[in-house]
Amino acid sequence: MSAARISAGLTAPMPRSRLLDAVALGRKVLVEAGAGFGKTVLADQHRESLGIGTVTLRLAPRDADPALLCATLLRSLRASRLSDLASAVEGRETLDEALDFLLDALAATTSQVLLVIDDAHHVLGTSAAAIVDRLGSDLPGQHHLMVVTRAMSAAAGVAWRTPGRVRIGVADLAFTCGEVQELLRSCFGATLPDHAVAILHHATGGWPAAVVLSAALVAAAADPLAEVYSLAGRASLLGWLVDDLVASLGPRERRALAQLSHLPLLSDRLAETVTGIPGLLAAVEEAGLPAPEGPPGWRRFPDPVAEHLRRAAPLDPETAAPLCTWRAVRT
C-alpha cells in the first residue's frame, strides 16, 4: 500500500481544525506537499465544512493535453450536478474557450461554488496549466478555489503568497504532538503518555502517512507503550514509506539523494552543485518525498527521513569537495 493510500484511507475520520481554520481564511487556497500528507483529505474536509456546491477535477497525466482536459472539465461539471456550468462548457472546442464561458457562467451564478483542482502537478508547466492560471486570477469573488499539487513552479508559488490567498505547505500539514494524541484517541481508541507521543512524533517526523500507520500499529499492540519504543528503535516503518516513494527515481538519482541526506539544509542550486544533477530536488518532490521548508530559501528532510536515506551510503568525499567550494563562493 502506498503512502498516499494510507493517508487518504485513515486520516479522513479526523478533521484537523487547525488546518480547516487556516484554509477558511481565503477564497483561493493552494495545498502543496508530497505524497502521504493528506492533501486530498484536506480538500474533502474543506468541501464538507463549506457546505456549498463543489466541482472537483482530479487530474491525470493525460490532462496535460488541453483537449483532453476540456473533456475532464466537462465530466467534472456534469458530476457536480451544476447543470448551468456544464451547459456553459458543453461544445467548446478549446480550453481557453471553455474557461471563458465557465468564468462567465460563474460570474452570473449567485450561489457560491467551490472548485477543487486535485493533482494539479500533472498539468503544471504545460499549456493545460491555463486552467490553474485562469481560475487563480479570474475566478469571480463570491466563489472558492483550492489547488492541490505536489509541486508548484517558483513563479506561481510567489503568486499564491499574495494577500487574500492561502498557501498550505508541508510544515502546515505535518502532525503536531497534540494531533498525534488526538488521532490515537479519536480514530484508534488509544491514549499514550505525553512523553510516548513525543517519541512517536519524532520517529515519524510528523509525516501524516507515517503517523497514521504507526498509530494503527501502536493501538493494535498488546503493550502500546512497548510498541512505541519498538517503532522508534527500528527503521522499517518509515523506511518502507520512504523506499516506496523514491522507487520512482533512477539509480543515479537515488545515489545522489543518499548524499543530499547528509546535508542539514538544501536548495536547488546546492543540490545541483554537489550532485551534478539539474532539477534533482524537483524530481524528489515530484516523487512525493517530504522536504519541508527550512530557513528562507532553504529546505530540509525531516530527521527520521534523512536518517533512513543516510543508511544507503556514507558521505562521499567527492560530494563534500564541491560543497566546500560552494560554501567558499557563497561567503
Domain definitions of the chain by residue range: 3-173, 177-234, 243-330
208 or 106: which leads in pLDDT? 106
Burial of 218 (0-12, 13-18, 19+ CB in 10 A): buried
Which of 147, 131, 77 has the alpha carbon at shortest distance from 99?
131
Does the pLDDT of residue 16 top 80, yes or no?
yes
Q: Which amino acid is at 298?
A: W
Grid cell, residue 121, equals: 502537478
For residue 237, CA distances in Å to 9, 21, 241, 312 come to 17, 31, 7, 16
Burial of 6 (0-12, 13-18, 19+ CB in 10 A): buried
The answer to whether the beta carbons of residues 304 and 240 sit under 8 Å apart is: no
176 or 316: which leads in pLDDT? 176
Does the pLDDT of residue 243 top 90, yes or no?
no
Predicted confidence band at 282 (pLDDT cuts at 50, 70, 90)?
Answer: confident
Grid cell, residue 123, equals: 498539468
Average pLDDT, the chain: 84
Does the pLDDT of residue 286 top 80, yes or no?
no
Which of 23, 16, 8 has the alpha carbon at shortest distance from 174?
16
Q: What is the pLDDT of residue 192?
A: 93
Grid cell, residue 307, equals: 536518517
Q: How many Cα atoms within 13 Å fall on the side-chain side of residue 319?
A: 18
pTM of the predicted protein model: 0.75
Does the pLDDT of residue 67 top 70, yes or no?
yes
Distance CA 156, CA 136 (A): 10
For residue 297, what is the DSSP state? T
Q: What is the pLDDT of residue 3?
A: 46
Q: What is the pLDDT of residue 12?
A: 46
Q: What is the pLDDT of residue 322?
A: 57
Q: What is the pLDDT of residue 178?
A: 95
Do the strands 144-149 and 113-118 form a parallel or antiparallel pair, or are they unpaired? Answer: parallel
171 or 324: which leads in pLDDT? 171
16 or 233: which leads in pLDDT? 16
The answer to whether the beta carbons of residues 71 and 243 sit under 8 Å apart is: no
Predicted confidence band at 160 (pLDDT cuts at 50, 70, 90)?
Answer: low
The answer to whether the beta carbons of residues 183 and 14 sit under 8 Å apart is: yes
Mean pLDDT over residues 169-197, rounded?
91
Pick the CATH number of 3-173 from 3.40.50.300, 2.60.120.260, 3.40.1800.10, 1.10.3720.10: 3.40.50.300
